[in-house]
């Protein structure tokens, strides 16, 4: 290997180790840490982030990248080494713009905010987090301002999560989608409601978790290189390609909560576990964008996990686990229940049809907050009003309103939510392409066999890590850039069938 | 505060954060991490250790310490600030002698060795760890050699764990103790064996863990600032004064395994939780030596947890949890069972009388290995021979022989075991002093009240963290340095009663 590239990789490995260590500390904070650890944990995370940032923005790295540019240009465009150098140079340019002291301040603030959010949820009281959120907003703006020349202040924050995207691009896509979705929601919700009472009987937590674990293992989630824990808000995190963990939450009176959140997070985890092992410890190891990541979690959760063929295989097994609750419920009735469309309060519980409305309103709030049209103190009221408007419901309390998602309490305001809808859109593009290449996929799923699908995703998405950008990746895999048509086609077909439209 | 001292404290805080982060990674490795994480975890730990070491051995710190020396000397001898400066200077001198690259190499080696030990235990095969242990021995010698001028090569390694102690001091104490113990073991084991069959019925794991948790909470272990998990070898670890965790192991056919290991680890944890909160994030926050730490765990495990008065309170409660197993067993019979003296294979299961023989043979093996009288490959045979000699038993396999303790597979050979016997000796000194100051302690324990004892320990030991050395601390608390007499008095009185000597 080019000795300068080797030197660069050694330096990057140290930074990767520090980031992974910070990851372990965050995972621990969200799954295990006793309350007494909070103050020190914030400080510890801030220290790791600051050292990592200082080490990454060293002149040595800039100099190596400069020296390696001609070498990168001499390599075939598709070479991993060239991609590593290009990607690192992009990350480096970005990181240089943010002072290490800011990174530490932000990380420290995030740790205490997350703790305040937990407390706010206990007492169901927005006031507990309000001052923290004020500070988060201020920090989010300051972060964006390190990247002057933006069109809208959210752009740099969006770019962190979904490189190459801007507020105006997303607004454009969301407006297109909204035009298609609103009539579909109206048509579906004017039909008689599906009956999902069978999902809300009493289901033992342990059996739910065991059944979920059986499903995700069969999907291909490797428990030798991962584990599942409980946390207030499910998430996926990885400390190496060999250690990719997920969390879930479980409710005794809700069969779908743990089940679909496990499948969702396992979708993320399959992506991280499927990255080319040669990329270990380099910036190439990771998902290429939040949107692509969500396309994988949502593909498994919805296009696979809420499909009829999936339950043709798993429903009889579920009935064996919960005979009292489900023996009198037919597969068809169960399939209708898990796909019940309903205007609802909680994003993560929302059905596929209304889900994107939840995302769009959050995206709009982020723009309003960042651009000064909405004050943090007025957020709960604005939330209630917009909810009444878009979904015809008033949140009865803060936990079922503005406190429901951890995102603004564990990161920036701005750039936090668009990925979910981008992911939904792309999930349908990927699924269409996979089925086109392998028409037997559906029949295989109905036999509990996910290998062809999993391999197609590994070959076309997972293995590449961050080698390709979102646009490059989706174009290579599906032949076109992001496009809402396959998603609309998917929703129309599925829900016309379910609701006799 | 003196501005230079403030600057020093800020630098030390960063190092403290890095060490705490490494602690979280180790805890995770031993309680949660999937096998796939091993390779990366070794690297991550090595990186943290190396950065921490580099940061601690910076010239800036040396310069600040030099500049602060006159200030420290101007302070009252008993001042916390003076103690902090003195202690940091001692740590600094030691750390300077060890190259950062060695620290990283050692830490990396330790992580893979721990994993090999887990595998070796699965297959009960010493060969699996043999090459790792060869390397550990070589690294242990290299570490010692960074401290030339030692009397025996183990001295620097012993000094890491028990500052101020040397191999010759310990041999002296151990020889004295051996002279008293051997006749006591002989006398006790010539009496009829106690019947402990009631401890080996079937006891539900969950109920055992719950009962143990109830005991340690009552002892004063604060679960808001700690938690208990399972691990192959129980340990205590802390990431701040507000986050002190313990682990335990539990067996269905052994009522004492989880119980006494929980009490033991909670003894360590009470110490760490009881440190003056002003010391948070400084080198003063921590136990002053391994020996003093063990004096606390062994005090709670044995002098409290295996005493008659303790079970006067807890035994009726234990009978309520396990009525089928224990309703026909009297308190006296139970007390005899948990104090059964027996030549046995496993150190952590050994009774108080034979326990120190297990420690002494390990200490001697460490000396023999380091000084070249014993080869790593010959260790199992030497182990078997010495066991036959000292305890009249032959280990039937490696797991019940040389693979039983994690110490040599997670740290140096040398300095790993002496602390247990030093701790036993000092635990009796502390208990005598506490009871002398508060004669009601025993009666209080019999009423399930540990407050007076806990407060005495907090006042005389815990709060000081590392402020005083072992000798200073024990002299302040008991009026004399380390002395085997109280321990011998304690053993003779207790076991003469139990075995009608």
Give the closest-approach CA distance of B226 to chain A in angstroms. Answer: 6
Which residues touch A226 (CB under 8 Å, ≥6 apart)? A243, A244, A245, A246, A269, A273, B34, B36
Please judge whether B227 and A34 are an interchain contact, meaning their C-beta atoms are less than 8 angstroms apart. Answer: yes
Predicted pLDDT of residue A103: 87
Task: Name the residue among B17, B36, B39 with its Cβ closest to that of A44.
Answer: B17
CB contact under 8 A, B242 and A280: no
Task: Determine the Cα–Cα distance for residues A298 and A491; give it in Å rounded to an integer.
Answer: 13
Question: Cβ–Cβ of A36/B239 closer than 8 Å?
Answer: no
Domain B167-202+280-499: CATH architecture, name and number where available: Orthogonal Bundle (1.10)
Q: What mean pLDDT comes out for the span B290-297?
A: 98
CA distance A51 to chain B (A): 9
**CATH code 1.10.1370.30 region(s) in chain B:** 167-202+280-499
Check: CATH 3.40.50.300 for A167-499?
no
Comparing CB atoms, the residue among A27, A44, A227 nearest residue B20 is A44
Q: Determine the pLDDT at residue A388.
A: 95
Residue A1: predicted pLDDT: 86
B59-117 residue pLDDT tens? 999 999 999 999 999 999 899 999 999 999 999 999 999 998 898 899 889 989 998 99
3-state secondary structure of A237: strand
**Which run of H or of E encompasses B492?**
helix B485-499
- Find out whether B433 and B479 touch, Cβ atoms under 8 Å: yes
ipTM > 0.85?
Answer: yes
Q: Using the structure block, give the residue that is written with the tokens 């620290």.
A: B103
Residue B104 pLDDT: 84
| Cα–Cα distance, B88 to B69 (Å, whole number) | 11
With a pLDDT cut of 90, the percent of chain B lying above it is 96
For residue A232, the model assigns a pLDDT of: 83
Q: Nearest residue on chain B to A14, judged by CA atoms?
A: B47
Of A41, A48, A242, the CB nearest to B37: A242
Would the CB atoms of B47 and A222 count as touching at under 8 Å? no
Which pLDDT belongs to residue A248? 96
The answer to whether the beta carbons of residues B359 and B417 sit under 8 Å apart is yes
Residues in chain A closer than 8 A to B245 (CB atoms): 34
DSSP for B395-461, written as a single string: -SSSTTTTTS-SGGGSS-SSSSSHHHHHHHHHHHHHHHHHHHH-TTHHHHHHTT--HHHHHHHHHHT
Q: Is the confidence at residue B467, as pLDDT, over 90?
A: yes
Strand partners, B125: none
Which DSSP letter does residue B190 get? T
Q: What is the largest CA-CA distance in chain B?
A: 70
Task: Locate the chain A residue with the closest alpha carbon to B243.
Answer: A37
Q: With a cut of 90, say whether residue B296 has pLDDT above it.
A: yes
Mean pLDDT confidence for B303-312: 98
> Per residue in B314-326, pLDDT tens?
999 999 999 999 9
* pLDDT given at position A425: 98
Query: What is the rounded average pLDDT for all residues in chain B?
Result: 96
Catalytic residue check, B265: yes
pLDDT tens digits for B381-395? 999 999 999 999 999
Q: Which residues contact A135 (CB under 8 A, 6 or more apart)?
A: A109, A113
Residues of A in contact with B40 (CB under 8 A): 17, 20, 239-243, 280-281
- B471-494 pLDDT, tens digit each: 999 999 999 999 999 999 999 999
A22 to chain B: which residues are within 8 Å by CB?
Answer: 21
- Catalytic residue chosen out of the listed positions A163, A265, A272, A301: A265
Among candidate residues A310, A314, A259, A335, the one with its CA nearest the CA of residue A445:
A310
Cβ-based contacts of B231 with chain A (< 8 Å): none
| Full strand arrangement of the beta sheet holding A228-230 | A228-230, A243-248, A236-240
What is the arithmetic mean of pLDDT over B284-301?
A: 97
Q: Where in chain A is the domain with CATH 1.10.1370.30?
A: 167-499
**How many Å apart are CA B12 and CA B92, to the nearest integer?**
11
Report the pLDDT averaged over residues B252-273. Answer: 97
Q: What's the sign of the alpha-carbon dihedral A379, A385, A389, A392?
A: positive
Which pLDDT score is estimated for A300?
98
Spatial CA neighbour of A244 closest among B34, B497, B471, B122: B34
What's the pLDDT tens digit per position in A4-27?
A: 999 999 999 999 999 999 999 999
Cβ contacts of B18 on chain A, cutoff 8 Å: 47-48, 51
The list of chain A residues with pLDDT below 70 reads: none
pTM for this predicted structure: 0.92
């Amino acid at each position: 290997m080019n000795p300068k590239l080797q030197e660069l990789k050694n330096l990057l490995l140290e930074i990767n180790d520090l980031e992974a260590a910070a990851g372990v500390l965050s995972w621990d904070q969200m799954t295990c840490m006793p309350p007494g650890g909070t103050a020190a944990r914030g400080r510890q995370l801030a220290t790791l982030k600051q050292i990592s940032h200082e080490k990454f923005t060293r002149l040595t790295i800039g100099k190596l990248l400069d020296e390696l540019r001609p070498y990168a240009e001499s390599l075939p465009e598709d070479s991993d080494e060239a991609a590593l150098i290009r990607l690192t140079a992009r990350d480096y340019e970005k990181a240089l713009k943010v002072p290490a002291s800011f990174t530490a301040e932000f990380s420290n603030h995030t740790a205490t905010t997350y703790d305040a959010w937990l407390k706010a949820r206990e007492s169901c009281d927005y006031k507990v987090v309000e001052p923290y959120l004020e500070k988060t907003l201020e920090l989010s703006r300051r972060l964006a301002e390190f990247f002057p020349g933006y069109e809208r202040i959210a752009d740099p924050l969006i770019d962190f999560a979904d490189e190459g995207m801007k507020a105006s691009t997303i607004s454009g896509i969301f407006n297109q989608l909204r035009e298609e979705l609103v009539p579909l929601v109206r048509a579906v919700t004017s039909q008689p409601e599906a009956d999902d009472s069978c999902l809300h009987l009493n289901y033992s937590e342990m059996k739910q978790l065991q059944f979920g674990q059986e499903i995700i293992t069969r999907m291909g989630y490797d428990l030798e290189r991962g584990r599942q824990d409980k946390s207030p808000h499910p998430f996926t995190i990885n400390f190496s390609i060999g250690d990719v963990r997920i969390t879930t939450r479980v409710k005794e009176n809700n069969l779908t909560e743990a089940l679909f959140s496990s499948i969702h997070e396992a979708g993320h985890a399959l992506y991280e576990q499927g990255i080319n092992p040669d990329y270990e410890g380099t910036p190439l190891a990771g998902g290429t964008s939040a949107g692509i990541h969500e396309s994988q979690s949502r593909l498994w959760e919805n296009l696979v996990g809420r499909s009829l063929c999936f339950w043709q295989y798993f429903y009889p097994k579920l009935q064996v686990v919960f005979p009292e609750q489900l023996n009198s419920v037919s597969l068809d009735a169960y399939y209708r229940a898990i796909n019940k469309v309903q205007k609802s309060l909680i994003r993560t519980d929302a059905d596929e049809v209304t889900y994107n409305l939840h995302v769009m309103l959050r995206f709009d709030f982020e723009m309003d907050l960042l651009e000064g049209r909405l004050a943090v103190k007025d957020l709960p009221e604005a939330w209630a009003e917009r909810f009444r408007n878009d979904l015809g419901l008033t949140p009865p309390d803060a936990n079922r309103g503005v406190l429901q998602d951890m995102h603004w309490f564990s990161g920036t305001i701005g750039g936090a939510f668009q990925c979910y809808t981008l992911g939904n859109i792309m999930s349908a593009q990927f699924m269409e392409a996979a089925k086109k290449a392998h028409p037997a996929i559906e029949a295989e799923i109905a036999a509990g066999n996910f290998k062809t699908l999993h391999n197609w995703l590994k070959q076309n998405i997972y293995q590449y890590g961050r080698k390709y950008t979102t646009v490059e990746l989706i174009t290579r895999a599906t032949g076109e850039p992001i496009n809402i048509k396959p998603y609309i086609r998917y929703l129309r077909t599925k829900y016309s069938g379910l609701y006799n439209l």
